Amino acid sequence: MKKQWRKSVVSVLSILLIFTLIFAGCGSSATNEPTDEPSNTEGTATNDQPQEQPADEGTYLEQAYAGKFKGTKVSMFGPFADADEVKFNNSIKEFEEKTGIDIQYQGSKEFEATINIRVEGGNAPDIADFPQPGLLANFVKSGKVIDVSTFLDGSHLKSNYNQSWIDMATMEGKDGEIMAGIWNRSNVKSLVWYPKKQFEEAGYTVPQTWDELIALSEQIAADGDQAWAIGIESGAATGWAATDWIEDIMLRTTTPENYDKWVKGELSFTSDEVKNAAKKMTEIWFNDDYVYGGRKSIVTTSFGDAPKPMFDNPPKTWLHRQGNFITSFFPEGLEAGVDYDWFYLPSIDEQYGKPVLVAGDIYAMFNDRPEVRAVMEFFTTGESIKTWVQSGGVIAPMNDASLDWYASDMDRRMAELIQNASTIRFDGSDLMPGSVGAGTFWKGMTDYASGTVDLDEAMEEIEAGWNK
Amino acid sequence: MKKKEKKRSKWLVNTVLGIISIIWLIPTLGLFISSFRPATDILQTGWWTIFPHRAWETTVELELSKDVDLRQPIEIDGTSYTDEELRKGIKINDQRLIWENRRARIVNVQDKVWNMNTDFTLENYMSVLTGKEYSIMQPDGSVRVEKGSDLSQAFWNTVAVSIPGTIIPILIASFAAYAFAWMNFPGRRVMFVIIIALLVVPLQVALIPVLKDYTALGLNGSLLGIWLAHTAFGLPLITYFMYNYISQLPRDIFESAYIDGASNFSIFSRLVLPLSVPALASISIFQFLWVWNDYLVALVFIGSQPDVQVLSMKIADLVGSRGSDWHLLTSAAFISMLMPLTVFFLLQKYFVKGLLGGSIKG
């Protein structure tokens, strides 16, 4: 009897011991975090060296070309893999050969989840590629990202980037605002794709205003087709394609200042501005004569499959609003500019000019070493993305990227569109915190499109994400 | 009477089990069939259409007058239909009317006929095995085809990770299990309870602390690092499993060996190890499958550099940055399945014994 009692006491005690150990471990690591130095041991070891460099040796990039950092390695981590990875490696090949710096790129489809673990675990890459500035902002807030304005020449940046890009790279850090990274790639979202050859054969013309766009949809409907290919299904991310529509229409129906406020959460989703944008969208979305397969098919059609019926012969549907990346989903064997082309999603209210919705990749720096600085400086030049631009599918945000580089007329017109835009704004859902931008915004739009909730309920549902 | 009942219940159990295993097999079969179908077919029709089935096939195309207003009832052969009906297809007797081309005002008259989709290809396997082809436009406008890397590097990386990742923890755990079962030392109970309690700790909570230590030790991205990680994450279960088996070995052999003057090490290596082959084999299968299929641990501790990347990560990247090539997953899944299947069939005869290993206690 006594023995048994003793046995169970031992077990209970040891289990308690383990749990206290575990919780103590978690607790201490949690409290340690803020005091942790921004990056890793390597970084701090060489930290002072850069500042001591005499200025007359030139910028880090010039030093790199002079062969000063030969044999060093710079690790890079980002979400693009597969074909994009091949294109990226091609675009840095020349730099690597000239400078002797080895840029080791790692691509992972689980970038968003992994980058957190790696930074917290002290294994941050030297440079990380963020397609979502909102995600980067979290790291900036905790002081883990290095301020690139400390070593990059401000006047060079100003002349090489549209002011909107620089503003978008400036984020709130632990001790005031810092320049959190540099923009290296961009893509344009305000595009409407159409099957060019058949479009012209059918006698349609590219609309210049929103009213003309609706008139074109009506004309196509009368001819017997449903004009718009819309699909927002995307697995766990279902609904993101709808957020782009709202953002694009927001820019066309209200001021850029209101858009910024909206993205920051200061302008509510339940406000008239946002509701008005949603209503404008439903002029097309909820009209069964305009949407291929009708409204009910919007939420069940995959965003990648949506444009495919445009390329049936004859086209089953004619218009598709999506960013320039969508061409990789088009059936093989189509020729850009001949079989398909794009036009700018027309303005709705003239007073807001020609706004363009963009997305892009910002490169942020986690470890401060001279060779990393050189690579970052390299990424601010158009040269760093030249071969990628030439192979198509990407737009360079830098001004020194020549328009001649673009492989097709189609890409060149996109670059011109960005350069001539009255306002450039980043994809809002990527800037909002994850609980909204990758949460209720997606879900609310999906519910609204499928008809399970009405406009007011949908907007309240989305707005609730800010309180999470 | 009783015998008959027993027979009947056996028959019942077998039927239920049979049905369950068929249900489990259907998705795998579907995946297997899909892996041989061309990408465009996978997108358009289900894998079951390769079996004979009845489908609508157009027999006649009716061309209506060009100025038929689609928003009014549409008259065909004296009956009028709405546009809605014609979009979905409307049945009349054995035939169906459906739009072929609304723009050209062509209506299909269709009959149901037996049909089979027998278009097969090895292309999915080719592009997975030999590497995908990327067409990259050159500055001068020509297109250069660049071949992506094939699976062999990733395959050998996975072998290099999984074999030590299976052997090391099993070796350590068997030593530990023997000690817990047959040796007397202070703190034995407490330590054993700690190990059992570690079974319930999810490995995810350990990722960041372990990664911090690895960074300090410079083990990130090295094979040694991932072996250690898999060993540590696998140890509690393997120790528990081996303990259950080893503690059930008859006490008499140990006593006689001890009387004959055998040391603990020779008892372990000469008696315990040979006697526990069934348990070792079955836990090897478990651990090997776990390490082979692992994505998370490899992602965190090895990363996706091509020279160390494991198979599961390589396969996940095959679909492309935006997931447009997901049809390749069908064949990739079967290729990565080959190795675990081989291991399973080699060790299969121990497997069932091992499954019972923890359950029957004297």
Per-residue pLDDT tens over the stretch B285-340 = 889 999 999 999 998 898 877 788 899 988 888 887 777 788 888 999 999 988 88
Residue B46 belongs to some domain of the structure: no
Give the strand pairing for B95-101 and A191-194: unpaired
Inform me whether the pLDDT recorded for A47 exceeds 70. Answer: no
Tell me the pLDDT band of A110, cut-offs 50, 70 and 90: confident
- Residue B108 and residue B231 in one domain: no
Task: Give the pLDDT score at A44.
Answer: 39
Q: Do A108 and B299 touch (CB under 8 A)?
A: yes
Mean pLDDT across B103-131: 85
Give the structural domain span for B24.
1-34
Q: Do B322 and A108 touch (CB under 8 A)?
A: no
Q: Residue B123 is which amino acid?
A: E
CB atoms within 10 A of CB A303: 24
List of chain A residues whose C-beta atoms are within 8 Å of the C-beta of residue B43:
305, 308
Nearest CA in chain B to A81: B321
- Residue B349 and residue B204 in one domain: yes
Two tokens, residue B276 = 């526990």
Residue whose C-alpha is closest to residue A439's, from A239, A268, A233, A281: A239
List of chain A residues whose C-beta atoms are within 8 Å of the C-beta of residue B214:
121, 123
**Total residues belonging to chain A:** 468
Task: Give the pLDDT score at A376.
Answer: 95
Interface test with A, best of B41, B134, B189 (most A CBs within 10 A): B134
List of chain B residues whose C-beta atoms are within 8 Å of the C-beta of residue A231:
none
Interface check B149 vs A, CB under 8 A: no
Beta bridge partners of A130: A362
Distance CA A289, CA A224 (A): 9
- Residue A52 and residue A90 in one domain: yes
CA distance B337 to chain A (A): 21
State the DSSP code for B65: P
List of chain A residues whose C-beta atoms are within 8 Å of the C-beta of residue B321:
79-84, 107, 109
Q: For residues B248 and B69, which has the higher predicted lDDT (pLDDT)?
A: B248
Distance CA B77, CA B290 (A): 65
Distance CA A92, CA A89 (A): 5
Q: For residues B245 and A332, which has the higher predicted lDDT (pLDDT)?
A: B245
Number of structural domains in chain A: 2
Inform me whether the pLDDT recorded for B95 exceeds 60. Answer: yes
Give the structural domain span for A335.
191-355+427-467
Picking from A9-13, A367-371, B165-169, B244-248, which range would have the lowest pLDDT averaged per residue?
A: A9-13
- Residue A273 and residue A313 in one domain: yes
Beta bridge partners of A424: A356
CB atoms within 10 A of CB B168: 18
Residue whose C-alpha is closest to residue B135's, from A327, A341, A416: A327
- Residue A155 and residue A268 in one domain: no
Inform me whether the pLDDT recorded for A258 exceeds 90. Answer: yes
Residue A18 belongs to some domain of the structure: no
- Residue B94 and residue B11 in one domain: no
Number of residue pairs across A and B with CB atoms under 8 Å?
A: 139
Q: Do B207 and A117 touch (CB under 8 A)?
A: yes
Share of chain A above pLDDT 90, in %: 53
- Residue A127 and residue A210 in one domain: no
Inform me whether the pLDDT recorded for B70 exceeds 60. Answer: yes
Residue with tokens 């990056």: A39
pLDDT digits (tens, 9 = 90+) for B153-207: 899 999 999 999 999 999 999 999 999 999 889 999 999 999 999 999 898 899 8
Do A203 and A405 touch, CB atoms closer than 8 A?
A: no
State the CATH number of the domain containing residue A453: 3.40.190.10
Give the strand pairing for A102-107 and A73-78: parallel
Q: Do A390 and B137 touch (CB under 8 A)?
A: yes
Q: Which of B210, B300, B318 is facing A114, going by the closest CB pair?
A: B300
Q: For residues A300 and B141, which has the higher predicted lDDT (pLDDT)?
A: A300
Interface test with A, best of B215, B295, B325 (most A CBs within 10 A): B215
Task: Give the pLDDT score at A36.
Answer: 39
Do A123 and A75 touch, CB atoms closer than 8 A?
A: no
Task: Give the pLDDT score at B2.
Answer: 63
Residue B120 belongs to some domain of the structure: no
Task: Give the pLDDT score at B361.
Answer: 46
Longest Cα pair distance anywhere in chain A, in angstroms? Answer: 96
Inform me whether the pLDDT recorded for A427 exceeds 80. Answer: yes
A83-99 vs A370-379: helix crossing angle, rounded to 10: 120
Task: Give the pLDDT score at A35.
Answer: 36
Do A357 and A423 touch, CB atoms closer than 8 A?
A: no
- Residue B87 and residue B229 in one domain: no
Q: Which of the residue ranges A344-348, B247-251, B344-348 has the most confident prediction, judged by mean pLDDT?
A: A344-348
Interface check B199 vs A, CB under 8 A: no
**What ipTM was predicted for this assembly?**
0.74
Residue B44 belongs to some domain of the structure: no
Q: Which of A87, A107, A387 is facing B317, going by the closest CB pair?
A: A107
Q: What secondary structure, in 3-state letters, does B146-176 show?
A: EECCCCHHHHHHHHHHHHHHHHHHHHHHHHH
Tell me the pLDDT band of A28, cut-offs 50, 70 and 90: very low
Residue A38 belongs to some domain of the structure: no
Interface check B82 vs A, CB under 8 A: no
- Residue B208 and residue B314 in one domain: yes
CA distance A254 to chain B (A): 31
Determine phi and psi for A28, rounding to 5 degrees: -70, -35
